[in-house]
Chains A and B, each alone.
Chain A
Amino acid sequence: MKRYIVRRLGYAVLSLVLLSLTIFLLVRLTGDPAVLLVEPGASTEDLAAVRAQFGLDRPLWVQYGRFMSTLVRGDFGHSFYYRTPVLELYLSRLPYSLMLALAAMAFSLLIGIPSGILAAVRVNQWWDSAGKIFALLGLSLPSFWVGLVMILFFSVYLEWLPSSGAGSPLHVVMPAFALGWYFAAAHMRLTRSSMLEVLGSEYVKLARLKGLPEALVIAKHAFKNALIPVLTLAGINLVIMVNVAVVVETVFAWPGIGRLLYEGISFRDFPVVQATVLLGGAMIMIVNLVVDILYAVIDPRIRYEK
């Protein structure tokens, strides 16, 4: 197991280096950030000064070298737009993103898992159809539309919730729902299919033949085994929620990492985009590694040594 973890960590570092090169080149394909930092009528000298200030007048390999040399010291550079260290910006947004992601994940699991189980147990019945419609809506309704409708209804019309921003537990309710619904639908679909697969397995049939109560069969034998793929997906989804809740964070003026990424892309703020993508990539790799290790812990049949 130890050798496996070391090997996986090695791959992760290599992947991050490749990711850094890819994102470094890709953001530069989007064009010159200087034109977005001045008024359209600004002079050529103003533009040249902005480029020189950020080292954008240097050859690409020099820029990449400088980026990597600071990166190994844990410095992601300064934001073009904010003029502050990117890591400082990222860390100031991280708590908000974590709070939103955890609330959205709790919502998506609380809704997605029970409705998925019900849909599997009552397959092709009313519950199953209702679950399918819920999932279809969650996956197909654009979250910006869901967000705006919620703002108009719960905030402007009913005056129950604050319309946007952060600061109190009430602020997180609408963005968490708007973000969580999409993922609840995905979790519901996966729980349903996973449960159906497990319910058709031999050991569940045996449990039923032994005369165990149906509730016990579902809760103890089926659900526990069906949960593994759902938790794997939830782990990955949590990282996605933290890093790319762009639309929801923008609609609700939620000060998270998704909005930071959106601003970075909008203003061609190369250091911000590079940092958010790299840190997001690192999070996904760590979560994947942890999930793989947990597999081995949960299921004794899984071993990685060979």
Chain B
Amino acid sequence: MSKTWVLGLVGLVSLGLSATAPAEAAPEGTITWGVHVTLVSRWLDPAETEALITPFMVLYALHDALVKPMPAGLNTPSLAESWTVSKDGLVYEFALRKGAKFHSGDPVTAEDVKFSFERYKGAAAKLLKDKVREVQAVDPARVRFHLKEPWPDFMTFYGTSASGAGWIVPKKYIDKVGEDGFKKAPVGAGPYRVASFTPGVELTLEAFDGYWRKVPSVKRLVLRSMPEETTRAAALKKGEVDIVYLLSGPVAEDVKRTPNLKLIPAQPPGVFWLDFPDQWDPKSPWHDRRVRLAASLAIDRQAINQAETLGFSRPTGSIIPRIFEFALPIDPPPYDPRKAKQLLAEAGYPNGFDAGDFYPFPPYFSMGEALAGYLQAIGIRTRVKTMERASFLSAWRERKLKGVLVGITGASGNAATRLEAYVTKNGIYSYGVLPEVEDLFQRQAKELDRKKREALLHQIQRILHEQAMHAPIYELAFIWGVGPRVEEAGANLIKGFAYSGPYEDLRLRRQER
């Protein structure tokens, strides 16, 4: 076979391949969001990520992490191709993805990873830096994290939205332009780059065609701050925006009735529950398990769900969201006011009792009123006291709230991190601790065997349920309104994520581009 013939054959094969391979189309069109929050500069910098899920609405577009929650799972390798843990649990090694680069064109290297971790000052920064002895850039494509002691939650904090420490920024660029320069013109390794930003008003992003995972389908993303719910809904109906976040009650109903618009419930890890701070006082009626159980049985969770979130939330029997790692799914208690009254009578309160104040979680006051009404119906009398959000949180944290309160949190993490805050002796919102729960919690914190750890955490959740320590209500649905131009809005693709994502997977309908 002559050399020319072979080359020709190779050429033909190459032509055939290029003709049949699905070439990635160039990004087209714009998707505009009406977001419920005020857009701020700090969300453009992963180092500033506080213990909030909101910044990730921007981070997923502009930046990328070594490992992050994605449709494939909670700890999906992204800028890292893979990662391994040493047998003693002390060393985590990440192999960086070849070809991953920043918007500036520079490749993502181990030095960037080390620099990003050291520069990080957001949520859990102290915790992470206390646990990590050293970050070692082994070579440009390999980085090692050496821990001081085995820590089973390292990847929960480094590889999920519990912190922004694993999101990588370009060292070379920041060294060149300085911190202020980076704040003004941030550069990341995500699927979109900043085109323009007016703090508090609007952020415009443009597709980055060098993104390693795929070239985004939509050319331009616009996030527009619209704090008023009715205004967001009006803009959606008029077609000025394509997706709006956070609709509720009558406004959501109105959007639902509008032709061509649809409601989508995202399912972030936020659970509502009733907390009974007085249960730790032996003289309080709440000290009796039967009273707490009666309160739980008195609530018609589905009715409240229907009124507040159009039935999109998920009634539950646990304060741990089902999507969390190590969660024990528990069905919600049935609505049984007759049984509730019977339990109250057995506990010595046939005519009910005065339970003091009832604190709804701000701003969910109508839900609080409904819950207090259900308690009242079985004879548990309360006075609803509404508070401003920050005052409520401070008073709860300082253990000044008595009677009954409604709790909720959407903090990321796993069952252990969620339990720690509310039922352990170090918990910032714990009013008291069950010794067996504390013992199990301490044991799981040292357990490196995943199965054994899961068993311990399940046992804790079972005890909390049996003791009726809380009356869980439902896992809150975060309702979006979506317009007719959008084919894929990116809702619930990443489990537990409240916002659109991954942005590179979003699509407009063909004729709308």
Chain A residues near B (Cβ < 8 Å): 30-33, 35-46, 49-50, 53, 79, 81-84, 89, 92-93, 148, 151-152, 155-156, 159, 162-166, 250-253, 255, 259-260, 263, 268
CB of B390 closer than 8 Å to a CB of A: yes
**A263 (CB) vs chain B CBs: closest residue:** B38
Pair A40/B411 contact, Cβ less than 8 Å? yes
Q: How far does the Cβ of A213 sit from chain B's closest Cβ, in whole Å?
A: 51
**B127 (CB) vs chain A CBs: closest residue:** A45
14 contacts between A and B (CB under 8 A): A31-B390, A31-B394, A42-B50, A43-B51, A49-B121, A82-B199, A83-B42, A84-B183, A156-B238, A165-B226, A250-B228, A253-B227, A255-B200, A263-B38
Pair B200/A83 contact, Cβ less than 8 Å? no
Stretch at the interface among B79-87, B229-237, B287-295, B340-348: B229-237
**Residue in B51, B124, B125, B389 with the greatest tally of chain A CB atoms within 10 Å:** B51
Pair A163/B224 contact, Cβ less than 8 Å? no
Pair B231/A151 contact, Cβ less than 8 Å? yes
Inside 8 A of B394's CB, which chain A residues have their CB?
31-32, 35
CB of B242 closer than 8 Å to a CB of A: no
Contact partner of A46 among B53, B124, B183, CB < 8 A? B124
Inside 8 A of A148's CB, which chain B residues have their CB?
230-231
Given the known interface contacts A41-B409, A164-B226, A260-B200, the answer about A151 and B234 at a Cβ–Cβ threshold of 8 Å is yes
Contact partner of A253 among B126, B224, B413, CB < 8 A? B224
Q: How far does the Cβ of B202 sit from chain A's closest Cβ, in whole Å?
A: 8
Q: How far does the Cβ of A172 sit from chain B's closest Cβ, in whole Å?
A: 15
Contact partner of B231 among A43, A92, A163, CB < 8 A? A163
In the A-B complex, the 6 residue pairs with the smallest Cβ-Cβ separation, listed nearest first, are: A42-B51, A41-B411, A41-B409, A39-B411, A83-B42, A255-B201
Inside 8 A of A253's CB, which chain B residues have their CB?
224-228, 231
Give bound CA distance, A46 to B125, whole Å. 8
Q: How far does the Cβ of A99 sit from chain B's closest Cβ, in whole Å?
A: 14
Pair A35/B201 contact, Cβ less than 8 Å? no
**Residue in A43, A45, A49 with the greatest tally of chain B CB atoms within 10 Å:** A43
Q: How far does the Cβ of A82 sit from chain B's closest Cβ, in whole Å?
A: 5
CB of B455 closer than 8 Å to a CB of A: no
Contact partner of A40 among B200, B237, B408, CB < 8 A? B408
Inside 8 A of A156's CB, which chain B residues have their CB?
234, 237-238
Give bound CA distance, A31 to B394, whole Å. 8
Taking CB atoms and an 8 Å cut-off, the chain B residues in 371-425 that contact chain A are 389-391, 393-394, 396-397, 407-411, 413, 417-418, 421-422
Pair A83/B224 contact, Cβ less than 8 Å? no
Q: How far does the Cβ of A96 sit from chain B's closest Cβ, in whole Å?
A: 9
Inside 8 A of A36's CB, which chain B residues have their CB?
389-390, 393
Q: How far does the Cβ of A143 sit from chain B's closest Cβ, in whole Å?
A: 12
Q: How far does the Cβ of B42 sit from chain A's closest Cβ, in whole Å?
A: 4
Inside 8 A of B225's CB, which chain A residues have their CB?
253
**B412 (CB) vs chain A CBs: closest residue:** A39
Give bound CA distance, A166 to B411, whole Å. 34
Pair B199/A84 contact, Cβ less than 8 Å? yes
Give bound CA distance, A166 to B127, whole Å. 43
Pair B41/A84 contact, Cβ less than 8 Å? yes
Q: How far does the Cβ of B248 sit from chain A's closest Cβ, in whole Å?
A: 16
Contact partner of A37 among B50, B202, B234, B408, CB < 8 A? B50
Give bound CA distance, A165 to B417, whole Å. 40
Give bound CA distance, A148 to B200, whole Å. 21
Give bound CA distance, A292 to B349, whole Å. 72
**B397 (CB) vs chain A CBs: closest residue:** A35
Additional A-B contact list (13), CB under 8 Å, known A41-B409, A79-B40: A30-B390, A33-B390, A37-B52, A43-B51, A83-B42, A84-B183, A148-B231, A151-B230, A151-B234, A164-B234, A165-B224, A255-B198, A263-B200
Pair B42/A159 contact, Cβ less than 8 Å? no
Give bound CA distance, A292 to B235, whole Å. 45
Give bound CA distance, A43 to B427, whole Å. 8
**Residue in B50, B125, B226 with the greatest tally of chain A CB atoms within 10 Å:** B50
CB of B123 closer than 8 Å to a CB of A: yes
Pair A83/B238 contact, Cβ less than 8 Å? no
Inside 8 A of B234's CB, which chain A residues have their CB?
151-152, 155-156, 163-164
Q: How far does the Cβ of B138 sit from chain A's closest Cβ, in whole Å?
A: 30
Pair A50/B50 contact, Cβ less than 8 Å? yes
Inside 8 A of B125's CB, which chain A residues have their CB?
49
Taking CB atoms and an 8 Å cut-off, the chain B residues in 32-54 that contact chain A are 38, 40-42, 48, 50-53
Given the known interface contacts A43-B127, A159-B238, A250-B228, the answer about A83 and B409 at a Cβ–Cβ threshold of 8 Å is no
Contact partner of A251 among B224, B228, B408, CB < 8 A? B228
Give bound CA distance, A5 to B183, whole Å. 43
**Residue in A32, A148, A165 with the greatest tally of chain B CB atoms within 10 Å:** A165
CB of B185 closer than 8 Å to a CB of A: no
Contact partner of B124 among A35, A43, A165, CB < 8 A? A43
Pair A82/B200 contact, Cβ less than 8 Å? yes
Give bound CA distance, A163 to B330, whole Å. 44
Q: How far does the Cβ of A1 sit from chain B's closest Cβ, in whole Å?
A: 43
Taking CB atoms and an 8 Å cut-off, the chain B residues in 228-271 that contact chain A are 228, 230-231, 234-235, 237-238, 240
Pair A162/B240 contact, Cβ less than 8 Å? yes
Give bound CA distance, A31 to B226, whole Å. 26
Give bound CA distance, A93 to B200, whole Å. 10
Q: How far does the Cβ of B74 sit from chain A's closest Cβ, in whole Å?
A: 18
**A162 (CB) vs chain B CBs: closest residue:** B240
Q: What sequence of 0s and 1s flags, for each residue 101-138 of chain B, a beta carbon within 8 Å of any chain A beta carbon?
A: 00000000000000000000101111100000000000
Q: What sequence of 0s and 1s flags, for each residue 62-85 of chain B, a beta carbon within 8 Å of any chain A beta carbon?
A: 000000000000000000000000
CB of B428 closer than 8 Å to a CB of A: yes
Q: How far does the Cβ of B399 sit from chain A's closest Cβ, in whole Å?
A: 13
Give bound CA distance, A32 to B200, whole Å. 22
Inside 8 A of A79's CB, which chain B residues have their CB?
40
Inside 8 A of A81's CB, which chain B residues have their CB?
38, 40, 42
Contact partner of B50 among A32, A46, A251, A259, CB < 8 A? A46
Pair A83/B226 contact, Cβ less than 8 Å? no
Give bound CA distance, A49 to B41, whole Å. 19
Inside 8 A of A151's CB, which chain B residues have their CB?
230-231, 234
Give bound CA distance, A163 to B235, whole Å. 6
Given the known interface contacts A35-B390, A45-B127, A152-B234, the answer about A92 and B198 at a Cβ–Cβ threshold of 8 Å is yes
**A267 (CB) vs chain B CBs: closest residue:** B38
Inside 8 A of A263's CB, which chain B residues have their CB?
38, 200
**B421 (CB) vs chain A CBs: closest residue:** A41
Give bound CA distance, A92 to B127, whole Å. 37
Inside 8 A of B411's CB, which chain A residues have their CB?
39-42
**A151 (CB) vs chain B CBs: closest residue:** B234
Inside 8 A of A155's CB, which chain B residues have their CB?
234, 238
Inside 8 A of A31's CB, which chain B residues have their CB?
390-391, 394
**A35 (CB) vs chain B CBs: closest residue:** B393
Give bound CA distance, A62 to B413, whole Å. 37
Inside 8 A of B200's CB, which chain A residues have their CB?
82, 89, 93, 255, 259-260, 263
Pair A53/B228 contact, Cβ less than 8 Å? no
Pair B231/A41 contact, Cβ less than 8 Å? no
**B391 (CB) vs chain A CBs: closest residue:** A31
Pair B126/A39 contact, Cβ less than 8 Å? no
Inside 8 A of A82's CB, which chain B residues have their CB?
40-42, 199-200
Pair B41/A83 contact, Cβ less than 8 Å? yes
Q: How far does the Cβ of A40 sit from chain B's closest Cβ, in whole Å?
A: 4
Inside 8 A of A38's CB, which chain B residues have their CB?
50-52, 123
Pair B240/A83 contact, Cβ less than 8 Å? no
